[in-house]
Structure 1
């Protein structure tokens, strides 16, 4: 969570666009320390409280379809670090090998139980583990797969100055992302193309604006908005 000195930032992130956002965060170092403290304490508390739900969902998933309880896809977080995200599996095994890296409306790879879990966003709960170990934060840019990060503009790379998040303003605004993607997909544009060209740039406007407005209090408000 701690912000590195500029000289220690990965070379692929060192550009004038990123420096602009770095300077903003550099003035909020103490707030970022509080942010990490909040992440540790709240993730521990929620993991304890929600442990019965973890057990019920795990059994439900195993009964419904073959495969592991958790989906462990590689994603990118702070400074370009690769980590494996924890999510309850809502699709058939090896779904990302037989289709796009994002889901669309009426995606046939989603299981019956997975559809119900996704509607309530319960598949995201295991990311509390990622928060506790420091790969993620409660609020921040949603972690993308390497393919999408490779398509980042110089300015978009600024989002990698902070850990990836479970929720954000972009996540709330694009909570029906699969439906939006479905509107653009056709014979000339694949799902991945639509995401990179249409969806990602719009989401990044919210993510980059977060740097200007960040305070711990506003993070708490975003968490409440997400639940609502």
Structure 2
């Protein structure tokens, strides 16, 4: 049974987390719009196709939502069906490779944060097909859906694409169990280091 004091503290944290999410997104939005504008031109110059990549993901409590990204792959990237990004993936454009390394392709997700579909910090949202696949392989994977998915998270700053779904699950469950302002700040600062180094990107 959840203790009353713990439940109250959790509710306060969730409220503060939402305030921080909105404040951070609003503060960063002008800079994000500038970068999106610059890279939209570069995307168009390099390859034909839409500027944005809109994809269905699984959010909190299993609700589906559309996630927004700057297109980093060629338009026929999934002609053979959905697949995870590979290391040195040939489907990724030159501009896309830089955006993925610096996480610039994720900037449109500030819209998802403002809409309340995502948080700044939390488990990264997976596609429905992969969520079902990983739940079958690693029972309990859907426990990640107890909280809002994040723009960045503990698994991302601990290896990103370089870690297995099982390790990713363990890290996400650890975050859910220990989540708080202090842990969120630690993940945020580590995210800055990851963005600067490009560690764990594909």
Q: Scaled by the length of structure 2, what TM-score is found?
A: 0.85
Paired residue for 2:88, among 106, 115, 118? 106
Match of 1:223 in 2: 188
Quote the Cα distance in structure 1 between the aligned partners of 2:31 and 2:92. Answer: 28
**Correspondence 1:175 to 2:151:** no
Match of 2:142 in 1: 157
After superposition, residues 76-91 of structure 1 pair within 5 angstroms as: 76-91=58-73
Q: Give the drift of 1:30.
A: 1.2
Asked whether the equivalents of residues 88 and 124 of structure 1 are also in contact (C-alpha less than 8 Å), the reply is yes
Asked whether the equivalents of residues 52 and 69 of structure 2 are also in contact (C-alpha less than 8 Å), the reply is yes
Quote the Cα distance in structure 2 between the aligned partners of 1:94 and 1:143. Answer: 23
**Which deviates the most, 131-140 or 97-106?**
97-106
- SS of alignment partner, residue 92 of structure 1: coil
Match of 1:92 in 2: 74
Quote the Cα distance in structure 2 between the aligned partners of 1:77 and 1:70. Answer: 20
After superposition, residues 30-49 of structure 1 pair within 5 angstroms as: 30-49=12-31
Paired residue for 2:102, among 108, 116, 120? 120
Match of 1:166 in 2: 151
Match of 2:173 in 1: 208
Quote the Cα distance in structure 1 between the aligned partners of 2:187 and 2:87. Answer: 26
- SS of alignment partner, residue 68 of structure 1: coil
Asked whether the equivalents of residues 25 and 211 of structure 1 are also in contact (C-alpha less than 8 Å), the reply is no
Match of 1:60 in 2: 42
Match of 1:50 in 2: 32
Q: Scaled by the length of structure 1, what TM-score is found?
A: 0.76
- SS of alignment partner, residue 95 of structure 1: coil
Which consecutive unaligned segments of at least 5 residues does structure 1 have?
1-18, 181-198
Which consecutive unaligned segments of at least 5 residues does structure 2 have?
194-202
- The count of aligned residue pairs is 187
Q: Give the drift of 1:95.
A: 1.7
Asked whether the equivalents of residues 91 and 109 of structure 1 are also in contact (C-alpha less than 8 Å), the reply is yes
**Which deviates the most, 146-155 or 125-134?**
146-155
- SS of alignment partner, residue 50 of structure 1: helix
**Which deviates the most, 72-81 or 168-177?**
168-177
Asked whether the equivalents of residues 21 and 114 of structure 2 are also in contact (C-alpha less than 8 Å), the reply is yes
Q: Give the drift of 1:212.
A: 2.2
